[in-house]
Amino acid sequence: MTAQHSVRGDVAVLVPAAGQGVRLGPGGPKALRSLRGEPLLVHAVRRMTAAPSVGCVVVAAPPESVPAVRDLLSHLSERVEVLVVPGGASRQRSVAAALAATPDRYDTVLVHDAARALAPPELVERVAGAVRQGHAAVIPVLPVVDTIKHVQPSGEVMATLDRSALRAVQTPQGFRRSALVEAHAAAVDDHTDDAGMAEKIGVPVWTVPGEESALKITRPLDLAIAELLLDGVS
């Protein structure tokens, strides 16, 4: 290992990975489902540890799988510290558990869904870079490609939204640690989006360009698309 490779980064990445993956269908917790022969979680954490800024990854795993997940991830990186904690009953609780276990020395904290298994290390660097430049909360976003309508429960269309002002949000999302801690402390409902929680307490949220490859593997078609991406078809 060269001297450069032994330098530990100053960014911690929290990886909520304790969800069941109901929308993906039967087959066990989603983060442990196979994508071309390796669990989604291994793909995700490998890409996080490949980002030079990252010094620590804290995974919130399904509680019954914590020892197995520690084994799975133990050989991924010599440079990056990988910790595994039991996740909670919701994504928010899983992120909170990982945040509580994050060593104090990390002032920049990213949150990244295990379900976005193919998010590239370059995206980690882009988000972390914007936090370093002074933004307290940073999200990667993509333009919306569909026409978006506001629809009533009855099925009636209320309005057509101005697509040019809309963005689809991805992870990793980056935070000054104090902003993320305060956002979680203030949250009363269960949220699935950490930047949304930060917004609620008045933290300005900045955007950087996202990546198509950081798609969230939610339904069976997403898994098939991720396999094609891994095969180099894009």
Residues that bind ligand LQXTBERG (CB under 6 A): 91, 113, 169-171, 192-193, 216
140 contributes a contact to ligand CTP by CB under 6 A: no
197 contributes a contact to ligand CTP by CB under 6 A: no
Binding mask 55-74 for ligand CTP (x = CB under 6 A): -----x--------------
207 contributes a contact to ligand CTP by CB under 6 A: no
Strands (E) in the chain, as ranges, are: 11-16, 34-35, 38-39, 54-61, 81-86, 108-111, 137-143, 149-151, 157-160, 167-169, 173-176, 205-209
Quote the least distance from Cβ 90 to ligand CTP, whole Å: 5
For the chain, what is the total number of helices (H) and then of strands (E)?
Answer: 8, 12
19 contributes a contact to ligand CTP by CB under 6 A: yes
Q: How many CB atoms lie within 10 A of CB 30?
A: 26
Q: Which SS3 state, helix, strand or coil, does residue 225 take? A: helix
What's the maximum distance between 2 C-alpha atoms anywhere in the chain? 63
* ω into 67 cis (within 30 of 0): no
> What one-character DSSP code corresponds to residue 60?
E
Q: How many CB atoms lie within 10 A of CB 35?
A: 19
23 binds, among ligand LQXTBERG, ligand CTP, none (CB under 5 to 8 A by kind): ligand CTP
169 binds, among ligand CTP, ligand LQXTBERG, none (CB under 5 to 8 A by kind): ligand LQXTBERG
20 contributes a contact to ligand CTP by CB under 6 A: yes
136 contributes a contact to ligand CTP by CB under 6 A: no
Q: Of 200, 163, 169, which is closest to residue 184 (Cα–Cα)?
A: 200
193 binds, among ligand LQXTBERG, ligand CTP, none (CB under 5 to 8 A by kind): ligand LQXTBERG
Q: Which is nearer to ligand CTP, 20 or 160 (CB)?
A: 20
Q: Which is nearer to ligand LQXTBERG, 20 or 192 (CB)?
A: 192
88 contributes a contact to ligand CTP by CB under 6 A: yes
Residues 134-167: b if buried by 16+ CB within 10 A, e if exposed = ebbbbbbebeeeeeeeeeeeeeeeeeeeeeeeee
109 binds, among ligand CTP, ligand LQXTBERG, none (CB under 5 to 8 A by kind): none
77 binds, among ligand CTP, ligand LQXTBERG, none (CB under 5 to 8 A by kind): none
Q: What is the 3-state secondary structure (H, E, C) of 62-85?
A: CHHHHHHHHHHHCCCCCCCEEEEE
Catalog residues that contact ligand CTP under the rule CB under 6 A: 16-23, 30-31, 60, 87-91, 94, 113-115, 216, 218
